[in-house]
Structure 1
Amino acid sequence: MWLPSIITIFGQAASTPAELMGAFALAWFIAGVAAVPAIRLLKPLLPLVLLVLGRLALVFVHGGQAQLYVASATLLAGLIWLSSVRAPMTPGVPLGLAAAALEHAALGTVDLSWRPWWLAVPVIAVLAAPLVALRSDPPDPPARGGGWSLVGPALLLTGVYALSPAVVAVAASYGSSGYASTPPFPVPPLALGIAVFTFLAVTFAPRVPSGVVARTVAAVLLVGSAACFSYDFAAPGPLWLALLLGAPSLALALRLGSTGAESRFATALGMVVFAVAAIAYYAAYDIGFPNQWVPVAVALIPAAALLRSRGDATVRLPRLGWAAAGAACLLPLASVWVPPSPGPGGSAGSIRLVAYNIRMGFGLDGTYRPADAAAAIAATRPDIVVLSEVDRAWLLNGGHDDLAVLARLLHMRYYFGPAADAVWGDAILTNLPVGAVTSVPLTAAGAPTGAQALGAVVTVAGHEIAVVSTHIQPPPSAEPLVQVREIAAFATRFAGSRPTFIAGDLNVRPGSPSLQAFAAAGYTDGLAPFRPLPTFPADHPVEEIDHVLVNGLTCTDVHVGTAVTSDHALLAATLAIP
């Protein structure tokens, strides 16, 4: 909850400079380091109580500065408590990472903070019970069990890819054509269950290879898994390889790297690594520098721990524990959803369209309300939903798979085109029969998040219609004519002689040179007879930047929604087929 609060509340829809957001975020982790000397003066139970109470408070505190600072204070309490623990890092931390992944999957990637209190409070209480039972030893002597410097890197690697339920779902949804679609229903939960069980198996195995050759191979595999994740976001093979190699090699690093003793600063400094890496990785999408090196650089830290380890500090898991671990790995099956079969949809002469920039699922107040967004969409009874700013796994935004969540709530199938990376882009939801689907990248003339055009051919009452979903990223103080011409050329090439519409957050205004360029290519402003139709910002719309451009179709029954579940209002229209 803390990471998305930094972006949506402190960041104010990207109006706050990325450097300032990074400094604010890093300050809380620096405060955790500064608090380490004061641990000697604190009762170790105090920061733990504050951590648990803060976590419970976040079930009720939603939105605004209250959410930001309650989450920040809770984070700081957790950092201080972790720095006070003298027990070895293994097996508690690996077990916690595995439990977090399983819980996140079972909840369909929607965190407990956004669930009803009667569900969230008991679950948080159960999860907190083992922590309360772990009363920290007195603060002297300063040395303690080893491995705590690896907690921050492990949190980054498991959250970004190695044990991320959303990344597993994305990997399962990609084909070989550069786009993703609704996967066969058992694949993502079973794959995550296998990854978590492998992670636990290495952590608790009676014996693991610990010779210099085995440690070197494991270190290479760990760094290689991070490289595979960063290699090619349009291909499923590297993603699966990253997941296959990442979990067991990281588990071995945590197990063998937890020998010896470390200073109390180890945890706090390791979490600073987490903060710096997370800021560097995600700020790249705003500032524009390459970020593929970040997971690889972070993986080098546990890899180095592997190479310098000399012992095996594992704790054996009894048979009952193995049975419990195996059963727990079935938890992701709770999120299984069988997608509906394609149906006729629409009427004989029209289809209902919704175009919506969902802003990664977060409203202007920083709350995550996918159910409210789905209800607002469903109220328009759409046949096709075109989505912009879809986040499918960013740890920065809570690790949600917005697309899968909305697809389940709307009972629709999805098609996804990657823009920034494998898990951020644009989408089409529909239950109409779908033929050809293609995604093409656009020239990165604007924001570093990139842009793409996703095309799909749907069939309505015997008519084939070409749908193009896109999100234009204009260059600063200039018209995005390069992307406009690429989108128009792609739509013409993809559609052929079929009626076509282009929809999404185009970030251009009515009458602009960009819309004139679209019109010259044959794609007219379908909303022109109904203007003004402001859609941004959602709480007081004044800007007309969401559009529906048509070729061979006519817009009727146009409607702008009032739900504030994004920074944009949804735009609905009926498209009449000649």
Structure 2
Amino acid sequence: MRQRQLATALVALGVVLLTDVLRVWLPGIITIFGQAASTPAELMGAFALGWFVLALAAPALIRRAGSRPVTLAAAALLAGTRLALTATPGGRTQLWLATAGLVAGLVWLAGTAATTERPVPGLAVGLAVAAAGHAVLDTYDLVWWGRWEAWLVSAVLVVLFLAGHARRPVPSGPGGARAWLLAGPALLLAGMVALSPALARTANSYLQGDPGVARSPLLGLAPLPVAVAVFLVAALTGAFVSSPWARVAGPAALLAGAVLFALDRGNLLLPALLLTAVGLGACLARTGTGPVAGTGGPAVDAGHTAHGPPADGSAVDGEATAGRAPATAGRAPAAGTARAGARRAYAATAGMLVFALAAVAYYSAYDLGYPNGWVPVAVAGLVAAVALTAGPVGDPAPRALPPVRTTAAVTALALLAPLVADDVAVVGNRSGPPSRLTVAAYNIRMGFGLDGRLDLPGLAGILRRQDPDVVVLSEVDRGWLLNGGHDTLDLLADRLGMAYVFAPAADPLWGDAVLSRWPVTAPRTLPLPAVGAPTGAQALAVTVDLGDGVRPAVVSTHLQPPPGRQPVVQARAVAEFATAYAGGRPLVVAGDMNTEPGDAAFAEFTRAGLVDALAAARPLPTSPADRPREQIDHVFVTPDLRPGDVAAPPGTASDHLPVVVTLTLPPA
């Protein structure tokens, strides 16, 4: 039992480390290899998929060299790159370190699969611990911290992971291929939906109501511990495999959750998360049932061959052991077990290829413009089909770890998240309304700087030095797995001490926002016509309550031009929507407009009676941030707001520069 617990702990630790690496590697495809929109989506997808295809060679390597030496080498490389990523300065070094860590993690997964028949407890605990830890960190990875605490925790994880590999693995039996096949799909569904802390907070933000009320971290993060608990109960206790109806309930819940997520509606995210969590756990439990290890015959290392000693130099049972049966007696079982180990290794690498294919297919849609809701549903369907065809139920629950105590411990870790999360209270100005309002507009590229690192301190520092009252944000990510699963909006708002209102554009997790140090009320959104652009666009209008009846309107937008054309139709729609919303009150319209002064789309705003608030500082290029040459970030205002102190502060915390302007309010 102790050896089986060690094997489960190693799988769990490996999943945590691999998840950490993926949270760096996935956004690196966009921000470092792809440099955002400057690289074709097809090329970025080919780069991503190539490494997972390469990993399909790992089982052959394991069969030739032996599972133990290959697994040890891969574990050391995975651990080393995970530590090195904490110190990397970003750029190509970060991308190639993360790529090395990814390949090492895939090879380690294959080697571990070759000698581990029952991976479900380790996979389940690893996914749950990774999610709970991410929630405690407020979705800001240890890799990006750069502080001694990050080094300490990372070092402890790495030391435990490597120390566990010092012992030889217990002999494995003939099963487990189905469970290992689901490792990749489970990682995808957990990261996208079932165990995503950022999605849990975003889901609750759609249900909380008035955005002017102070945000509650207790409410925001409450779904995550619940999701972790139901996932582990379903995966570890076998509660959903004990009867025919229960065996069907798990796959049905998983499919229902995936369908709700695919509908792209914010008010459905919470049931999607909970249904997917319980369904995914139940499906894993279903594939983890079967005969106890060793009942199918003698077990040997996956490096053993049918006609000779194991590739790692150890002796096959029945061959080179005094007093035992002749050598021929051990060959057939050894060959059968070796083939079973190879099947598990191929299943693990094939499952991770499913992860890559699905991730590329889902997120490439925002560049190429095809429907992507079918992707999570298809992956959930695959998991459900594997679970339903898993065969007769044997031992109903993998008992490598005590299910109740393990569930309670990991859930308790997740429950820490609401206690350590920050809260921002927004109160009115008791001394009366200000005479001036400083507004900043910033395309934050999901929080990633030009070096490819998640640079929230850099973003917050640039904005804090401008001391804005209102910040209009574009390209805001609230939980995309592709970008590491961070709630960038909440993290940035915490650092600035501002409340926020979010509006979805591409889907419920990606869009635009308004941050304010003043209370905001009456939010309204307008989906903009796509006019051939693959990424969705919208306009978000809010009222900023400055007290004593002074209530200017602020509209945030990010225009998405159709290929080769100006966003004229979208600009006209925003101008009409904004002026109608303001109803004669002072109005600010700001954001990444993807149009320059003199263009037809730019003229739509001036035609609506708005004024270019940045005119006094023209030319004012803002993109790209390191060598700005395009004037595409703008602030338009009504003539009763007098602009001054225009600036575009330098910095590379995003691929754009912010624009800042101080507006003198009309007399009350």
Place the TM-score, normalised by the shorter chain, in its bin.
over 0.9
Question: 2:487 aligned with 1:455, yes or no?
Answer: no
Residues 482/575 of structure 1: CA separation in 2 closer, same or farther (3 Å cut): same
Q: Is the 8 A contact 1:181 1:416 kept in 2?
A: no
| Structure 2 CA distance for aligned equivalents of residues 394 and 513 of structure 1 | 33
Deviates more, 1:341-350 or 1:155-164: 341-350
Secondary structure of the residue that 1:436 maps to in structure 2?
strand
| Structure 1 CA distance for aligned equivalents of residues 72 and 625 of structure 2 | 44
Query: What is the aligned partner in structure 2 of residue 314 from structure 1?
Result: 398
Query: What is the aligned partner in structure 2 of residue 390 from structure 1?
Result: 476
Between the two proteins, what is the percent identity of the paired residues? 47
Q: Is the 8 A contact 1:479 1:514 kept in 2?
A: yes
Secondary structure of the residue that 1:561 maps to in structure 2?
coil
Query: What is the aligned partner in structure 1 of residue 39 from structure 2?
Result: 16
Query: What is the aligned partner in structure 1 of residue 246 from structure 2?
Result: 214
Secondary structure of the residue that 1:232 maps to in structure 2?
coil
Residue identity opposite 1:560 in structure 2 = A
Question: 2:394 aligned with 1:277, yes or no?
Answer: no
Query: What is the aligned partner in structure 2 of residue 288 from structure 1?
Result: 369
For residues 136-177 of structure 1, what are the alpha-carbon distances to aligned partners after superposition, in whole Å with 9 as ceiling and x for unaligned?
867998955341110000010010011000000100101498
Shift of 1:52: 0.3
Residue identity opposite 1:329 in structure 2 = A
Secondary structure of the residue that 2:655 maps to in structure 1?
coil
Q: Is the 8 A contact 1:174 1:181 kept in 2?
A: no
| Structure 1 CA distance for aligned equivalents of residues 407 and 601 of structure 2 | 61
| Structure 1 CA distance for aligned equivalents of residues 173 and 100 of structure 2 | 25
Residue identity opposite 1:157 in structure 2 = L
Residue identity opposite 1:17 in structure 2 = P
Shift of 1:104: 0.6
1:571 to 643, 656, 659: 659
For residues 80-120 of structure 1, what are the alpha-carbon distances to aligned partners after superposition, in whole Å with 9 as ceiling and x for unaligned?
01101122112001000000001111111111110124122
Q: Is the 8 A contact 1:170 1:180 kept in 2?
A: no
Aligned positions of 1:64-213 closer than 5 A: 64-85=91-112, 86-87=115-116, 88-132=118-162, 133-134=164-165, 145-146=176-177, 147-175=179-207, 183-205=215-237, 207-213=239-245
Structure 2: which 5+ runs fail to align?
A: 1-23, 291-339
Residue identity opposite 2:574 in structure 1 = I
Deviates more, 1:254-263 or 1:177-186: 177-186
Residues 396/332 of structure 1: CA separation in 2 closer, same or farther (3 Å cut): same
Shift of 1:347: 6.0
Query: What is the aligned partner in structure 1 of residue 320 from structure 2?
Result: none
Residue identity opposite 1:514 in structure 2 = A
Shift of 1:211: 2.7
| Structure 2 CA distance for aligned equivalents of residues 204 and 319 of structure 1 | 8
Residue identity opposite 1:505 in structure 2 = D
Residue identity opposite 1:448 in structure 2 = P
Question: 2:528 aligned with 1:442, yes or no?
Answer: yes
| Structure 1 CA distance for aligned equivalents of residues 539 and 490 of structure 2 | 20
Shift of 1:216: 1.6
| Greater helix proportion | 2
| Structure 2 CA distance for aligned equivalents of residues 279 and 515 of structure 1 | 34
Residues 206/568 of structure 1: CA separation in 2 closer, same or farther (3 Å cut): closer
Deviates more, 1:296-305 or 1:269-278: 296-305
Secondary structure of the residue that 2:505 maps to in structure 1?
strand
Residues 352/346 of structure 1: CA separation in 2 closer, same or farther (3 Å cut): farther
Secondary structure of the residue that 1:501 maps to in structure 2?
strand
Residue identity opposite 1:558 in structure 2 = V
For residues 226-257 of structure 1, what are the alpha-carbon distances to aligned partners after superposition, in whole Å with 9 as ceiling and x for unaligned?
00011132x41x21111121111111111111
For residues 52-77 of structure 1, what are the alpha-carbon distances to aligned partners after superposition, in whole Å with 9 as ceiling and x for unaligned?
00110100113211111110011001
Residues 338/517 of structure 1: CA separation in 2 closer, same or farther (3 Å cut): same
For residues 254-299 of structure 1, what are the alpha-carbon distances to aligned partners after superposition, in whole Å with 9 as ceiling and x for unaligned?
1111245643201000000000000000000000000000000000
Residue identity opposite 1:575 in structure 2 = L
Shift of 1:32: 0.7
| Structure 2 CA distance for aligned equivalents of residues 37 and 143 of structure 1 | 18
Query: What is the aligned partner in structure 2 of residue 547 from structure 1?
Result: 634
Question: 2:71 aligned with 1:47, yes or no?
Answer: no
Secondary structure of the residue that 1:169 maps to in structure 2?
helix
| Structure 2 CA distance for aligned equivalents of residues 176 and 60 of structure 1 | 39
Residues 61/158 of structure 1: CA separation in 2 closer, same or farther (3 Å cut): same
| Structure 2 CA distance for aligned equivalents of residues 38 and 321 of structure 1 | 35
Query: What is the aligned partner in structure 1 of residue 601 from structure 2?
Result: 514
Shift of 1:30: 0.7
Residues 138/108 of structure 1: CA separation in 2 closer, same or farther (3 Å cut): closer
Q: Is the 8 A contact 2:213 2:426 kept in 1?
A: no
Structure 1: which 5+ runs fail to align?
A: none
Question: 2:61 aligned with 1:38, yes or no?
Answer: yes
Residues 30/456 of structure 1: CA separation in 2 closer, same or farther (3 Å cut): same
Question: 2:645 aligned with 1:557, yes or no?
Answer: yes
For residues 163-217 of structure 1, what are the alpha-carbon distances to aligned partners after superposition, in whole Å with 9 as ceiling and x for unaligned?
0000001001014989998643311222211111111222232754433322122
| Structure 2 CA distance for aligned equivalents of residues 142 and 14 of structure 1 | 49
For residues 319-347 of structure 1, what are the alpha-carbon distances to aligned partners after superposition, in whole Å with 9 as ceiling and x for unaligned?
65455334223232244222222232996
Query: What is the aligned partner in structure 1 of residue 412 from structure 2?
Result: 327
How many residue pairs match? The answer is 576
Q: Is the 8 A contact 2:571 2:605 kept in 1?
A: yes
Q: TM-score, normalised by structure 2?
A: 0.83
Task: Indicate the RMSD between aligned Cα atoms, in angstroms.
Answer: 2.2
Q: Is the 8 A contact 2:239 2:246 kept in 1?
A: no
Residue identity opposite 1:511 in structure 2 = G
Query: What is the aligned partner in structure 1 of residue 83 from structure 2?
Result: 56
Query: What is the aligned partner in structure 1 of residue 4 from structure 2?
Result: none
Residues 185/11 of structure 1: CA separation in 2 closer, same or farther (3 Å cut): same
Shift of 1:412: 0.5
| Structure 1 CA distance for aligned equivalents of residues 516 and 584 of structure 2 | 22
Shift of 1:473: 0.6
Residues 319/425 of structure 1: CA separation in 2 closer, same or farther (3 Å cut): closer
Q: Is the 8 A contact 1:178 1:439 kept in 2?
A: no
Residues 322/487 of structure 1: CA separation in 2 closer, same or farther (3 Å cut): closer
Query: What is the aligned partner in structure 1 of residue 18 from structure 2?
Result: none
